[in-house]
Amino acid sequence: MPRPAPAKVELLVRRDAEEDFELRQVASVIGYLNSRPRRIDPDSYEISELRSRVALAPGFILKNKTTDRFLLLSAQERFLWDQMDGATSLQEIATAYVLQYGEFDFEIIPSLLRKLQRAQLLTFEPRSRLRAVLARNRGRMIVKAIELALTGLERIRISTHNVQSFFQALYRFGGFLLFTPVAAIACGALAVVGAGAALMLFRDVHDMLEGFGGHALRGILTVKLVFFASVALHQFVHGLACIHFRRRVREFGFTFLHGFVPTFYIDVTDIFMASRRARVITAVTGALVHAVLGAVAFIVAAEAQAGSFTQAFAAASGIIQWQALVVALYPFCFIEMDGYHVLVDVLGVPTLKSDAIAYVKGLLTGGGRAGRGSEELLWIAYVVLSTLSVAAFIAFNAWIIFSATH
């Protein structure tokens, strides 16, 4: 009997205008890809390696301590099991699998999910940790209000799936120029000139920020708003890079991440079907938008009248753009941005962050998991560097705000 097509529901999503709406067909497969399977509590299962003299690859025995059920997992299934932390979607798990093994077996994930469910080793928890904490304290009025507000914001999602032709046209009518040697040289030259301008301005940072005329906070908020627009541009360039490598842009949109972080996003997961070089270039070029905008801003600030609003605005924009460049490309900051994806792709360790955090947490609580020497070194380096970097980032911003207000 042929398998039926995935079920679909047709939804009508109302807009702010009284009668305006958008129709969306949502296939069950979309819900499936966005589901986030979670292993049961670590105290409720055990896993041990099973070495065979015949088979080259090791197997693993997974035991549900509550039900006394056992499962035999292959190395690939063990890898997938480790990803099922309740925060990673099936789509992300599949991506990690491709990065790890360089190929994809379309049956392995559904088949493993079935096995794990039968052994009661899995639950599905779609919400973030913040949402889980809020849910636990729902009895308090203020928590309930925050939860409702986050739920409302989470529902705001403006996106379109019909973007491939748009990005193809954008690429054809000039976007391709971004991927030429001339553009790379121009970008480098602009960054050097911008850095020179920034160094020159740095000496008079106090006088410069006085240009906000005693309204430093308002000025900085305006700069942040302009920066927000550049995030959309960042995503656009990711899309153009995807087209450059002849892959498909699947979606572009705006949403509130976790209900409170406004963000633009683009789905360029099709780039995983291209070469590693293509993936790295796609990741890096988006972030270079901030390098270019920051350099231009610093040059404008250097040329502007000292102490004027233009100088203060341009300089602050330059700082925030270059901060964004660093955050996007610098892999050691506990955030999985472009630089992190490049690093894990190059090193071939797609689960670096979660492994490193789990390892260091284990070291601190005395229940750490063992790894190879080089692996352990990488995990420790990741956590130490990320911690120091986050501290430095906070200190730098505090210093900027202090300089602007005193």
Partner 1 sequence: MQASADTLAFLRDVRVFESFSDPDLAVVVERLRERDLRRRQVLFREGDGGDEMFIVRRGTMLISKAVTGKVEQVLVRVEPFDFFGEMSLFDGSPRSATAQAETDVELLVLGRDSLQAMTETAPHAAAAFFYAMVQVFMERLRRSTQQVAEATRWGLEATGLDVEAR
Contacts with partner 1, residue ranges (CB under 8 A): 4, 6-15, 18-21, 23, 28-32, 35, 37, 90, 110, 113-114, 117-118, 124, 152, 155
- 201 by Cβ neighbours in 10 Å (0-12 / 13-18 / 19+) ranks as buried
Q: Which is nearer to partner 1, 116 or 352 (CB)?
A: 116
Can you tell me which residue has the tokens 């079920």? 7
How far apart are CB 162 and partner 1 at their closest, in Å? 19
CB closer to partner 1, 30 vs 363: 30
257 vs 328: CA distance, rounded Å? 17
- Measured between alpha carbons, how far apart are the two ends of the chain, in Å? 75
In angstroms, give the least distance from the CB of 150 to partner 1.
13
Quick one: 156 or 189, whose CB is closer to partner 1? 156
Q: What is the dihedral of CA 173, 264, 322, 224, to 10 degrees?
A: 120
Kindly give the pairing relationship between strand 122-124 and strand 157-160: unpaired
Residue 151 or 403 having the CB closest to partner 1: 151
Choice between 126 and 362, CB closer to partner 1 = 126
Partners of 160 in beta bridges: 252
Shortest distance, CB of residue 4 to partner 1, whole angstroms?
8
- DSSP secondary structure string for all residues of 355-399: HHHHHHHHHHHT-PPP--HHHHHHHHHHHHHHHHHHHHHHHHHHH
Task: Give whichever of 116 and 360 is closer to partner 1, judged by the CB atom.
Answer: 116
Whole-angstrom distance, CA of residue 330 vs CA of residue 320: 15
User: Could you please report the per-residue DSSP string of 96-139?
Assistant: HHHHHHSS--TTHHHHHHHHHHHTT-EEE--S-HHHHHHHHTTT
- CA dist., res. 337 & res. 340, Å (int): 5
CB of 64 to partner 1, least distance (A): 13
Judged by beta carbon, residue 260 or residue 396, the one nearer partner 1 is 260
Contact status, residue 62 vs residue 84, Cβ threshold 8 Å: no
Q: CB 337: neighbour CB atoms within 10 A?
A: 18
**What minimum distance in Å lies between the beta carbon of 117 and partner 1?**
5
Contacts of 208 (CB under 8 A, 6+ apart): 201, 301, 306, 307, 311, 312, 315
Residue 161 CB, shortest distance to partner 1, in Å, is 17
Closer to partner 1 by Cβ: residue 10 or 68: 10
To partner 1, the closest distance from the beta carbon of 156 in angstroms equals 10
Shortest distance in whole angstroms from residue 249 CB to partner 1: 24
